[in-house]
Structure 1
Amino acid sequence: MSVVSTIHAVASEATEGVDLLPAGVLDRVREYRLRRVQQQLRLQHVPAIIMYDPVNIRYATDTSNMQVWTGRNPTRYVVVFADGPVVAFEFHNCEHVWNDVTVKAEIRGSTCWNYFNAGPEAASKARQWAREIADLLREHAPSEKRIAVDRLDPEGTYALHEEGIELIDGQALMEQARKIKSDDELIVMKAAIGVCEKGIERMHAALRPGMTEQELWAHLHYENIRLGGEWIETRLLASGARTNPWMQECSPRVMKQGELIAFDTDLVGPYGYCADISRTWTVGHVRPTDPQRQLYAAAYEQLQTNMSLIRPGMTFREFSERSWDMPSKFFRNRYSCLAHGIGLVDEYPSIAYFKDWTDGGYDGMFESGMTLCIESYIGEEGGREGVKLEQQVLLTDSGCTPLSTFRFETDWL
């Protein structure tokens, strides 16, 4: 059975939970991801990286501890050496989060120097932290005075500089490590997408005139949490006139029969993988008006055209230049990018529209094994409504293969 067939089969079976991963898959995912990080460290000639970003820590070690909270409060961190140990500095009395993880790590208590924990002693605690990092570097890479860091507040930067340590951009390094997915990773990602699509199906079934946007959005959260998911990064669901322009978060607005409702899941599901899917319906699932149908047809055409273009070896610029030619009446309200990477969350790359290339574009190359989200938003400037569509795909040697399979409204076309 092909990898694509396997991941679709896993998703179709994952109806009441996410315990159906084939034996050994998660352990192989952990080994692969840590190896990718260490390979990038060697390629960049950097001896080690300090990770504070909870998503990077999850990628390298598959440990999770209050992901949203620690994203705002830098209180746990992990040091990964290219040719040495993984040393984890865990938050107060939380060593147990490593109990069921196969990644071998030395566990220590963290030195917290953020203002919430250290108050006016933040600078002195940061110096203590920096001395500990310097000692670790001397122990495992004695000839080196450089280290990569993904996220660091100013006090920590100053303190490491006082220790004579040069800092390297660790976020760029981690984005490169995360961009190519293993076959096992795809199986785990598809399990998360399956949970998300159960939430979308629940929303579809529940949608009715008279309910609020927030009531509808709650159905997606319900399925995600019930089936082992973790959080949702945004609240992008809008109805009626709030669908234009896009990027309006869900509200207590009561939805009316026949108007459009659009959403973007941005859902971090089981095992920490993201399912990023957008669909647009009518409230009450009634036949759309001609203007609504025309908006939908344009969004669907953009999505399908751009999906058909991408091939391994194509540059980001070439794809941007050849992408669907958006009519000028829609361009002002265009989505922020044509496509972006996806993994544990939104990832590198983000592909700009060609008209935005000078100010917002950067080049690179598509590679087989990338997972991507192809984006479309269609709504006229000053128009009443808009349509948001997004498809999550795997890039193979033959092009884009959908990972998200929730149906489009093709009878509207």
Structure 2
Amino acid sequence: MSVPRSVYRKRIRRAQEQMESAGIDAFLALSLENYRYFTGDVRKQPRMFIPANDEPFVIVFEGEVEEAERKTGLEAKGYRALHEMIGHVVSFLNSIDTETPTVAVEMEFSTPAFLLERFRMANPHVEVVDAKQIVAPLRKFKDRYELDFMRKAGKLADIAMEKALELLRPGVSEREIALEVEYHVRKKGAERLAFPMFVNSGERSLWLHGLATDRKIEDGDVVLIDVGPVYEGYCADIARTFVVGNATEEQRRVHRAYVEMQEKTIEAIEGSKGEVSVLDLERRNAEFLKSVGFGDSYVRGFVHGIGLNFEETPFPTIFPEDLREIIEKDMTLSVGHSVLSVRGVGGFRVEDTIYVGEKVERLTTFTRELLEV
């Protein structure tokens, strides 16, 4: 499904409305995700400048100007060096009839710090504020085009997990599984993976984050696999836990607790959307795990937003203020982000991507049973 150019123009207008309401003069987009959200275009290191009361323009390498204008329908300004890139913005800001212009810039953990610092050095008279107040209220609600892309990403996530299950056996290395799954899912239509795939086996299943190493899978291992295919820029995230050989009763008990916690979270979202906050969900999860004997093992961050970024608003593990975010209709979420680590038993995780519609729609549907391989 192609996205009409009018959709991108509407997004720009809504961002300009957000700026006017907040008294912000312009927004400088440094990330590919925001550039893509407002233009539909994809390229390396693009920048976009959206004034509150003027026409936006994109800033690209000199040789890309013609193509960028054709693909975005916007004016493109070319550069050959960093100072020329910043110069286009400086030139516009100098034309604004205000002593201290206010410019919103992404202040995320992925924002290149040197670019932000260079911008400040070149514009000492400019007040720089966080662009989250402009972008997050738009991007956290998905339109029908975005949802279509995320549904397709979800199908690819299921395909990836099916391939991982097929490959999982003693003697195969974590890295071999990750390489084969990525190759397979990209052949099936994934643009890329949103993050390096987790294949955490044995003691490494206890880790919150992960990667694939040369460790070979052994009989008796708990193996936690997490993969996030991207389709047309949009991510889906799925995680499942497997046991190589026969699962113990304690492993089954931990896994059941995790699956039940996920189910209760989704039921709460479906039954109380527009009312329940991320913090409410965190508290319920902590209380539930305490009631089943795993209270000391709970890791906060069970739910987060997902879309063009695999972690976006609400993103409470990085931005604690997002705990106050209310779960509302048309949001897409990852449910099951944290690991339940029990020493001597293993680390367990069941993560799915959902869409909050009139009812909750699971965009990833691979079985949530504890599979023995």
Flag whether TM exceeds 0.5 (same fold): yes
2:220 maps to 1:250:
no
After superposition, the CA RMSD in angstroms is: 2.9
- Secondary structure of the corresponding residue to residue 118 of structure 2: helix
Q: Which amino acid letter does the alignment assign opposite residue 20 of structure 2?
A: R
Q: What is the match of residue 118 of structure 2?
A: 155
Q: Which amino acid letter does the alignment assign opposite residue 136 of structure 1?
A: F
Q: Counterparts of 1:298-317 in structure 2 under 5 Å? A: 298-310=257-269, 311-317=273-279
Q: Which amino acid letter does the alignment assign opposite residue 126 of structure 2?
A: I
2:43 maps to 1:65:
yes
Q: Counterparts of 1:325-344 in structure 2 under 5 Å? A: 325-327=288-290, 330-344=294-308
Structure 1 residues 334 and 318: alpha-carbon distance in aligned structure 2, compared to 1, 3 A threshold: closer
Q: Is the 8 A contact 1:237 1:248 kept in 2?
A: yes
Shift in Å at residue 343 of structure 1? 0.6
Q: What is the match of residue 396 of structure 1?
A: 357
- Secondary structure of the corresponding residue to residue 409 of structure 1: coil
2:178 maps to 1:222:
no
Structure 1 residues 397 and 314: alpha-carbon distance in aligned structure 2, compared to 1, 3 A threshold: farther
Q: Is the 8 A contact 1:28 1:184 kept in 2?
A: no
Q: Which amino acid letter does the alignment assign opposite residue 264 of structure 2?
A: T
Shift in Å at residue 85 of structure 1? 1.9
CA distance in 2, matches of 1:32, 1:373: 27
- Secondary structure of the corresponding residue to residue 372 of structure 1: strand
Q: What is the match of residue 253 of structure 2?
A: 294
1:211 counterpart (164, 172, 175): 172
TM-score by length of 1: 0.77
CA distance in 2, matches of 1:111, 1:167: 25
2:49 maps to 1:93:
no
Structure 1 residues 288 and 31: alpha-carbon distance in aligned structure 2, compared to 1, 3 A threshold: farther
Shift in Å at residue 182 of structure 1? 0.8
Shift in Å at residue 315 of structure 1? 2.8
CA distance in 2, matches of 1:264, 1:189: 17
Q: What is the match of residue 363 of structure 1?
A: 324
- Secondary structure of the corresponding residue to residue 312 of structure 2: strand
Q: Which amino acid letter does the alignment assign opposite residue 405 of structure 1?
A: T
My pick for the range that moved more, 309-318 or 274-283, is 309-318
* Cα deviation digits, residues 142-194 of structure 1 (max 9, x gap): 45722211244312212111xx2222211342222211111221011111222
Q: What is the match of residue 339 of structure 2?
A: 377
TM-score by length of 2: 0.85
* Cα deviation digits, residues 1-28 of structure 1 (max 9, x gap): xxxxxxxxxxxxxxxxxxxx3xx54656
Q: What is the match of residue 48 of structure 2?
A: 78
Structure 1 residues 87 and 395: alpha-carbon distance in aligned structure 2, compared to 1, 3 A threshold: same
Q: Which amino acid letter does the alignment assign opposite residue 149 of structure 1?
A: V
CA distance in 2, matches of 1:137, 1:38: 16
Q: Which amino acid letter does the alignment assign opposite residue 369 of structure 1?
A: D
Q: What is the match of residue 136 of structure 1?
A: 92
Q: Is the 8 A contact 2:57 2:74 kept in 1?
A: yes
- Secondary structure of the corresponding residue to residue 365 of structure 1: coil
Structure 1 residues 338 and 110: alpha-carbon distance in aligned structure 2, compared to 1, 3 A threshold: same
Structure 1 residues 209 and 59: alpha-carbon distance in aligned structure 2, compared to 1, 3 A threshold: same
Q: What is the match of residue 318 of structure 1?
A: 280
2:127 maps to 1:166:
yes
Structure 1 residues 44 and 262: alpha-carbon distance in aligned structure 2, compared to 1, 3 A threshold: same
CA distance in 2, matches of 1:187, 1:166: 38
2:87 maps to 1:109:
no
- Secondary structure of the corresponding residue to residue 167 of structure 1: strand
Structure 1 residues 294 and 26: alpha-carbon distance in aligned structure 2, compared to 1, 3 A threshold: farther
Shift in Å at residue 204 of structure 1? 1.6
* Cα deviation digits, residues 198-232 of structure 1 (max 9, x gap): 22211122222210011111133113322141233
Q: Is the 8 A contact 1:64 1:97 kept in 2?
A: no
Q: Which amino acid letter does the alignment assign opposite residue 38 of structure 1?
A: Q
2:24 maps to 1:46:
yes
2:312 maps to 1:347:
yes
* Cα deviation digits, residues 344-364 of structure 1 (max 9, x gap): 111111346xxxx9x787413
* Cα deviation digits, residues 300-327 of structure 1 (max 9, x gap): 1111111111222323333333335223
Q: What is the match of residue 17 of structure 1?
A: none
- Secondary structure of the corresponding residue to residue 27 of structure 2: strand
| Identical-residue share of aligned pairs (%) | 23
- Secondary structure of the corresponding residue to residue 91 of structure 2: helix
Structure 1 residues 306 and 386: alpha-carbon distance in aligned structure 2, compared to 1, 3 A threshold: same
CA distance in 1, matches of 2:157, 2:4: 19
Shift in Å at residue 253 of structure 1? 0.6
Gap runs ≥5 in structure 2: none
- Secondary structure of the corresponding residue to residue 50 of structure 1: strand
CA distance in 2, matches of 1:198, 1:28: 33
Structure 1 residues 224 and 59: alpha-carbon distance in aligned structure 2, compared to 1, 3 A threshold: farther
